[in-house]
Every structure is written in C-alpha cells, then in structure tokens.
Structure 1
Amino acid sequence: MTITTTSLALGKAIPEGPHAISVQIPTWSDMCGMGRGDVQIMEALQNGYPRTFIHQTIQKLCRACQSRFLSSPAKILLFPDQKSAQTCKNYITSSTIHKNEAVPSKSVSIIALEIGESQPTFLYAGQTPGPTLWAVVYPEESAKPGALFWRLTGTGISSRLAEHCLQNIDSMQRVERPVKRFYSAMTTVHPVYETIRTRIAYLMDRAPAETPRNLTVKHSDVFLYPSGMSAIYHTHQTLLKWRGLESVVIGFPYELTIKMMETYGPSFKFYSLGTEEQIDEFEIYLDTKARIGSMIQAVWCECPSNPLLYTVDLGRIRRLADKYGFIVVVDETIGSFANVDVLGVADIVVTSLSKSFNGYADLLAGSVTLNPNSGYYRALKTCLTEGYTNNLYIDDAIQLEHNSRNFLQRAAQMNTTAESIVDYLSPFASDPSSVVSAVHYPKTCQSAHHYESRMRNATDEFTPGYGCLFTVDFNTLDASRAFFDSLDVWKGPSLGANITLAQPYVQMVLQKEKKWAASHGLRETIVRVSVGLEGKDAILQTVKNAHMMAEKTKGTHAL
C-alpha cells in the first residue's frame, strides 16, 4: 500500500467518512495557526477531534433543537443523561472556576428532549423507545465555559447518536417529566456491550508480564464510557467521592488530564518528568504528609507517556502505594493492553478505546477496568457502580466491537513498522552532524527497562512490542518544519489509527503554553508520528524522504 495524502485539503475529515475523529491540517504553518486559534484556519475546519471540535452532525442537531424548542437565540450543548447536563450547568455557572466569565445561573436552563418510539439504526428486533437528550441552554456570548466542559469531561453525545436523532427529528418533543428510559432498555439486553467488556477482560489477563494472578478480570469489572476522557473524568470523580483527597500525576500526561484535576478536586500535585529524582522527591513528600497523619488519594501514570514515551518506575510506585495507602491509576492507552500488562501495579486501568483498540479513527470510547486483586477492589467497585450509566451509544458500541476484532493483528503490524522507523532514525540522534537531536520511543528512552518490565510474555498468537507511536526531535525549527512539511502522511490529531498520523505536538496542542511545555521537557521542535497500516516499506520510505529534506536545512540557526 502506498501513501498519498497531498491532495487532501485543510479541514477535511480523516479518515474519510461521516464519523471520522481526525482532521487534515497539512502544513507546519496550518498546525501553528490551529494552535493559536487563527480565524482563517478554524473557519476551514469541516471536522476535528470530537471533544475540541463539536461534530458537524451534532452542531446541526443543536440548531434543529434551537429552532424547534427555543423562542430566542441561545447556545445548546446536548448530553445523554441528566447528571452530565446538571454537572455542565454547575461548571459553567461556577464563579470559583471562571471568575468573571462565569455564566449567571438564572441564564442557564436544562430541558429534556425525547425522540418518540422508533426503529434504531442498529439491527435489533422490534420497536424501541427513542433516546432522551438533555440540553443545557445558555447565552450565545457565554460559549467558552461550555466548550471547556465539553473538552474536559468527554461526556457529550456522539455523532452517531446525533445522526439517529436527526433522522427521527419529527418525533422529538420537549417533555417536563421524561421517562427514565435512555439507554437502559438497550444496554441491558443488547449483547454487544458484554462482548466488548469480555474482550477487554480477556486482553487484560492475556500473557501476563509476571506470574498469573489469583483472580482474573471479569467482564463486570470493565466499565464503558463514551470517550477516554470521560473514563478519566469519572474515575477521578469516583475517587473524590470515595476519599476526597489530593491526587498526584507522575510523568507528563495528556494535558487535559491536568486541567481536569486542577478543576475538580481539593488539591493536585504534578511531577512532570517522572524521573527517579522526582520520585525521590515524591517519596519525601509522602513521608512528610504521613508524619502529620495525612495522605493522598491516588497517583496517576501513563505507560508510556505522551508524547515523549517515557515510562515511570511503576514497580516503585506500587511499593509506595502499599506503604502509604493510595490508589494507583494507570493509563496504558499508548502501550495498549496488547503490549503491556499493568495489572501487576495498578488498582485501576483507564483506556482510550478510541485509539489502538478501535483502530479506525471513527468513534470515541473509553473504559475503566478494576483490578480484582487490589485491596481496594470492593470499595472501588461499590463506589464506581453507584450511579453508573453506560452512555456509550449503541451504534458506537457495535462499530467498536466490529473494529476491535482484529486488534492484535493490527497491533503487531504497527509495532513492527514503528520499530523499523525508529531503528532507522535513532543513529542520527547520536550523530553530531545530523539535525536529528532525539528519537523518543519506549525502546530508546532511558526508561526502556521500566517499559520492558511491563511487557507481556510472547505467545504463538502475539509478540509484544513498543507500540505505534514515536516522537522525533530536531536541533532547529527549520529542520522540524522541513521534516513535517515533507512527510507525506496524514496530518492531524489522534493515534493508533489504521492510517499514519503526524503532528508537531507542541505547535498544535500547546502553542499558547510553549514556555510551560518547555519547562516540562517538551520542546517546540518535536514531531509526533503514529504509524498506520499502509505498510512498513511505504511508511519508512516517506520518513526517509522527509528526513533527507530536514538534513538539507543544516546551517540554519539553532534554538
């Protein structure tokens, strides 16, 4: 398979399709403009990552709801359950969070909208009561707080649910006393949810890194969510409900995790690099708190981290957790539960199923898995189960189940491709005459032994590897730009897809926070690449071509 992406214009959905979760941003300049929020770039977007860009179908449904049910212009955000809608209202009206930008509570309302009895879009016998949507209505000029909530929690409706509602819009009506029927009628009887949860439970215990555990994961230990961020958000809320204490993040995580924890919780501490020296500092901090009878509620880690692919010493974190009595939460999305086994160290595993598990960049989903061998298992399961609603829309679940059937085969191919490219690039990082300054990858990081201690055992079915993601850094911005602009792959957010995706991570994601990012080891010259299924030789050749163009910039000013 060859790679040909140059004809795809700025703002087009990638991959092509009505529910794509990425968007083509083809040049370095476009990426920087996207990061700054430049008007001409934003207006060109026909798609985007669904939590940062509300899908066109959802926008269309919001406009239809406004036209049908509101007498004056207003902004609408749509949620699949009342609790999420109420939490959104509490968030956007909070003066503690938003200061002067908080929306007055009297200006915000929540209305219930029901779709009448209809045939669902999935193959299922009989008529089923349609969904109830909960609309948060607030003034148009107060859009920013609502957009932030949508991003931070990942609890909004999906494009497939919006599509279903639009197809049945004539039956939609506003109700004062909605029937409590949203997904419960579907999720308790449709087998697809149990199939997904059983598949995840199997993968969690497949070929463990250490000796087999006393108890294996059951499908009932797996909780599904409408996005990876929703899984993180609800886990954090569960821990706050259980203990209400301080959380700690070790290693640079997805930046919205930091913002979410800063927003929700009594306190928060961040050790951005996760090095041994920082864990030493953390241990001193724990000991100091213990001396005054205080403790923390949880430590959050990734395996490995995004975008520098560093793996913290999870074994040491586990030992500290046992000594000081806190929960260990591990996000293994990038390593994926094909390659890494974190149940030997984690009480809770959170995963963005949108990435490698789904593998086709056409939906959002997330999961939380409880470790049945954890000393906190019963307490956590009770707390998580109370009030839990499965808001993963049925059509998304059906697509996820279908896409994830070949998860291990896809993971094996992406492991091989990414490793071959890193093997090509890595020697240049140690060559003083090259513009390549570093290649970040679990195999090449100084933390490689920590990652490898978490790798699953090889079986006839699958040999674990280092994942689909690597990040290459350059000595100059000119070299970074030349590499990115010459790299003939898809250019956009997300990872783990069947197509290769690249982005200059800091320029797009942290454009307005470059100094902060640099203070945590993220240089503005890095380019993150998630390899797809186009074929090892094809991807390697396009990387070689882009590298050659980067090397031609020698002599330009260094950072």
Structure 2
Amino acid sequence: MLQALGGPVPPNTDHAVSVSLPTWRANIGYEEGEDWVISKMQCGYPRFFVHPTIQKLVGEIIQRVGDHETETATLFASLKTAQLCHSFIISKVSDEQSQKVRIVNFIPSPHAEAGSTSITSSLVSVIYPKEFAPIAKQVWQHSGNGISSRRGEFCLRALQDGLLVEDKGSVTAESLSQRPCKGPRRYQGRGSLSGVAWGASTPTASSPAPTTNGAEDGRDNAQFIEERFGRNLSALYATQAKIAVRKRIAGVLTADVELPEALETASSGGRVDDISEEDVLLYPSGMSAIFNAHQTLLSARGPMQSICFGFPYTDTLKILQKWGPGCLFYGHGSSEDLDDLETRLKNGERFLGLFTEAPSNPLLKTPDLVRIRALADQYGFAVVVDETISNFLNINVLPYADIVASSLTKIFSGDSNVMGGSVILNPHGNYYQKLKETYARDYEDIYWAEDAVFLERNSRDFVTRIDKINSTSEEITAMLKASPLVKEVYYPKYSHTRPLYDSLRNPNGGYGGLFSVTFHSNAEAIAFYDTLEVLKGPSLGTNFTISSPYVLLAHYGELDWARSFNVDPDLVRISVGLEDLADLRSRFQRALEAVEKVKN
C-alpha cells in the first residue's frame, strides 16, 4: 500500500493535496533539494509546490507575453491578489529592478461571455525575472491566494482554445493600487473581477500563440464547458455548492444530505445564536483565510502589531511578521506568556489582534481562550482562532473569538483532492459590524467553481467520519502512551492543557484525529517512521492515515529555534484515517517492534 517516492497522495489522483515522502531520508532530501527526490516529484502540497498543470500554464503565458530565457510568472485569480504579490516583490528589490516586474491580465474572450450561468475565469500573471522567484514563492506559500490546479487546468485549455485572451488595455503600475476591487461577485463581465485591464506585449514571431483557436473556429464557451465538465457545472451550480458548504461551516447543517436538501435546511441552531451562512466566507486555502483575516483587521482597525500566541503552523507566524507592523510572538502559549501580555497591556501597549490555534500544531496544546477573551474585551484587540486541528464538531471556539479560520482542505474535505479555507465572523463579537463592513467592501470570492463542487460533495459525510476518527485516535494514542518505547504522546487528551480543551468540547465532541509522538533517539524515530505502513507526506485530516516528520518539513532551516519552544526535531506527526482499528493497531505494533530492534 505504500506509495512510491514523489507520487500523489492519495495515489492516482490528479489534484492530490499531498505527495509521497516515504522515508526519513526522502524528507531530508526534499528539504535539501537533492535531485534524487526532486526529480521524482509528480506533485506536492499546493502552497509549497506548483502543480505541473500550473507550471505548464506559466510556460504558455511566458511564451505569449514574456521571455522564456529570463522570466517566469506567478498566477492569481484576481487583480487584487496579484497586486499583493507585485507589491511584495518590488518591496524586496531595487527601484531599477522593480521596473522588470509587471502584471499581465487575461480575460474571457467575447465568445466566452455566454451568460450568467456560464463558467469563465480571469487570470492575472505577475511576471518577473527568474532570480526573483524565491521572493514570489513567499507570497504563493504564505498568502495561499494562488490559483488552484483545477482552475489552472481550465485556464490552460481556455487559453489554448482562444477563450481566454490577453487584455490589451494599458495601465501603469502606480494606478494599480487605485483600482477598485468589488466583491463578493466573481462571475461578472468586462471591467469587473472577471476582466480588469492590464497592459502587456503581444506574441512575437519567436514566441507565437498556439495555432489552436477555438474562438476563431466558431467554438463557443458553452461547447467548451460541455466538453470540459459535462452538463453538471455552471455558475449557478457552483454557487449552490458554496451555500451548502457555508451552511455546514456555520453549523446549521450537519446532516449527510444531497445538495437540494442542504439548500433547504433552515439557518438556525449553529455554533452560536444568530449565526448563519452569511457570516461565513470562503477562500482558496486555509492560509488564504488567515492571511485575509489579518489583512481585513489591518484595514478595519489600522496598522497595529499583532500577537501570535502558542507555537503555530509556520505560515501563520510568517504572515504576521512579513505583512503589517510586525508581531509579538509567544511561542510557549503558557499562562506565564499571558501574564507578560497582561503586563504590557496594563502599561499601555495596544495590539491589532491575537492569532492562535486550538489546539496547536504539532504539540496539540490548547490556549486559555477564556482569559484571552477577557483581556481582549478589556484592552481592545481582536481574537482570531484557527480551529483546523480539532474542527467545530469536537470543540466550539467561536464564543471566544471574533474570527474563526479553518483549512477546509483537511478533515472537512477528507479526500485530500481539493483545497479550501473559511473565515467565520462571530455575530456577537466586539468588531462584528466593523468587520462585516470591511469584508463587504474588500472581500473577493476567488474560490474556483469546480473546487467548490468537489468540496461540497466531500463534506457531506464529515460528521460520521469525524466520529470514527475520534474513536480510533483515542485507541491508537492509548496504545502508544502505554509503550515504554515512546518518549511522549502529544494529544489533547494527554496534554497538561486538557482542562482547557475540555472546557471547549461539545457534548459529543472528541479529541480529534491528530497526534504527535517522540522517541528516545533519532534512530528510533527514523525506524518508527520508515516502518509505519501508512501513506507518508504533508497534510492532515485525510480519510486515510498519513504521517510525516513534521518538524523537519516545517522548520528544517530553524530546528534549533523550534527546539527552544520544546518542539523536538525528531517528532513524528500522525493523522488518523478511517481504516479498521485492528488493522491500524497491527501496523503501529510493527513500527514499535522496529523501534525496539534499534533500541536493543
């Protein structure tokens, strides 16, 4: 059942979210950029690895409007998200070099604008010298705003068929920041989010456009959509899927029902009183949700320093450090850290918002949200909680937060074949009205239609999946906890912060499907990881059990820094899936036997 190095996880999946790194050595080789690993990579986690289809689309665009020898591009679904990338790059290079960074916009051709129920896509390219690629990669990774592989697939065909064309209107880089970006509607005509002008060069003799041109051949968008998707995808269908997803996230829909019934479910009885799907916003990834929550707070409250509380998922901290006035980091997330914060607040320091995870990744510690909420109310800062690890069926953090963010890529989807993220606004929060006004002005719905359809289908049975995963995880962690070969099991049930977790638990809530383990030596950790017969790669919350040496992957260049917050570089993180319990037990037992051989 083990997947070969570099293959998609899950196997045989065109839009897989993870990639197979089946041995400890392969993970190190990936981080070191060694050819024996990199050359085998068919895919990767989408924010860290550009999908081959998107790479091909970049090549098509550079062929038309750039220089293959010296330039490359990063692709976005809207002008606004492209502008963020453009601004970040030019902030890191000289004034002279910044002139080499430009934006080229592609819009649906007149043949593609076939009516309100047709699927079309804008495509905005930030084009820059290849040596700037590491800078652009930071935006792609941290913001999570880049296009999805399914959108890339659609745009590649549309571009080749002449249904997506360069907008020849000329706009200066300086005027870009003055252009309005109105949301949340995406499927609009020319002059809207679907097509705002940006200048670029035309194809040259040395880089001609492909000869295939569906528009010139009389092939219209309706025919293109029919061939690409069949009859089951339209703007209307995608909109309905999004409504159903938002109902589920609001907690007003937990039944496993088909889409028509999901849309009829009354919006009541959600996570908190008065919540509805109108308080839920969708994003192309979980990091996009967090990135845009931070951007929205900056817009709503002004430029202020943020707080990152607890050892976080790596990109959350990077967002707070790289965009805006900076970040006060409390890596232990302890009561002593809250004491220090309270002292600062009493002395007059003020903050934009506090960002935290409940529980944290990878140590599964739960912050004291009751105390945090009290400090926020007294001293005036927002609270943003990332609930990805446990999800709202296990715990309810919304009463203590102004904004709850989540990666829908994980357990909400389960199938590991689509990305997604969400933001939920607490209708009783201190900043609710201000945030609603700001989101109404600034929010863009750039979640791709086809991704929404897959996410809606995947999430219909998430309640029953989570119940089984909770139960199996408790059994497996108890087994590991009882073994003298295991140094530590990190799981909310066994954490010293368990009382804080339990205070957030729903009546039928469990402890989630994610845990981490450490061993008494590096050799033992390697033996366990290499022997464990599950899929290996980044990501979590999958319907199948998946494992990774998480700290190596997330913090390879800063292992000593991670260790200073009691995060063991040899930690193995495991996300439990839907396999039979007896089968999983036997796999973990064999991995422990390999540890014992090394120990002896």
**TM > 0.5 fold call:** yes
Cα separation, 1, equivalents of 2:121 and 2:396? 37
Cα separation, 2, equivalents of 1:188 and 1:552? 56
Question: Which of 262, 265, 286 is the matching residue for 2:324?
Answer: 265
Partner of 2:91: 94
Cα separation, 2, equivalents of 1:129 and 1:527? 43
Q: Give the residue type in structure 2 aligned to 1:58.
A: I
Q: Secondary structure of the residue that 2:399 maps to in structure 1? A: coil
1:180 maps onto 2:180 in alignment? no
Q: Give the residue type in structure 1 aligned to 2:82.
A: A
Q: Give the residue type in structure 1 aligned to 2:35.
A: V
1:249 maps onto 2:308 in alignment? yes
Cα separation, 1, equivalents of 2:141 and 2:591? 33
1:239 maps onto 2:230 in alignment? no
Q: Is the 8 A contact 2:490 2:515 kept in 1?
A: yes
Partner of 1:431: none
Cα separation, 2, equivalents of 1:129 and 1:349? 30
Alignment of 1:136-535 (within 5 A): 136-168=126-158, 169-171=160-162, 172-177=164-169, 179-182=190-193, 186=235, 190-202=239-251, 215-243=273-301, 244-288=303-347, 290=348, 294-428=349-483, 434-458=484-508, 464-535=509-580
Q: Is the 8 A contact 2:250 2:271 kept in 1?
A: no
Cα separation, 2, equivalents of 1:547 and 1:450? 31
Distance change (3 Å), C-alpha of 1:213 and 1:237: closer
Distance change (3 Å), C-alpha of 1:317 and 1:191: same
Number of residues of Structure 1 aligned to a counterpart in Structure 2: 525
After superposition, the C-alpha distances for 1:365-409 in whole angstroms (9 at most, x for unaligned) are 100000001121101111122121101000000000000000111
Alignment of 1:14-29 (within 5 A): 14-16=9-11, 17-29=13-25
Structure 1 position 267, deviation (Å): 2.4
TM-score (structure 1 length as normaliser): 0.89
Q: In terms of mean alpha carbon deviation, does 62-71 or 44-53 score higher?
A: 62-71
Distance change (3 Å), C-alpha of 1:340 and 1:204: farther
Structure 1 position 187, deviation (Å): 7.1
Cα separation, 2, equivalents of 1:341 and 1:127? 37
Cα separation, 2, equivalents of 1:343 and 1:204? 16
Q: Is the 8 A contact 2:57 2:156 kept in 1?
A: yes
Structure 1 position 166, deviation (Å): 2.1
Cα separation, 2, equivalents of 1:252 and 1:229? 16
Cα separation, 1, equivalents of 2:137 and 2:64? 23
Q: Is the 8 A contact 1:311 1:447 kept in 2?
A: yes
Distance change (3 Å), C-alpha of 1:423 and 1:129: closer
Distance change (3 Å), C-alpha of 1:520 and 1:260: same
Cα separation, 1, equivalents of 2:533 and 2:272? 48
Structure 1 position 192, deviation (Å): 1.7
Partner of 1:11: 6
Q: Secondary structure of the residue that 2:501 maps to in structure 1? A: helix
Structure 1 position 336, deviation (Å): 0.6
Structure 1 position 544, deviation (Å): 1.2
Structure 1 position 115, deviation (Å): 3.6
Identity over aligned residues, as a percent? Answer: 38
Cα separation, 1, equivalents of 2:271 and 2:25? 51
Distance change (3 Å), C-alpha of 1:23 and 1:354: same
Q: Is the 8 A contact 1:187 1:394 kept in 2?
A: no
Cα separation, 2, equivalents of 1:219 and 1:473? 41
CA RMSD of aligned residues (A): 2.4
Structure 1 position 348, deviation (Å): 0.6
* Residue ranges of structure 2 left out of the alignment (5+ in a row): 170-188, 196-233, 256-268
Q: Secondary structure of the residue that 2:494 maps to in structure 1? A: coil
TM-score (structure 2 length as normaliser): 0.83
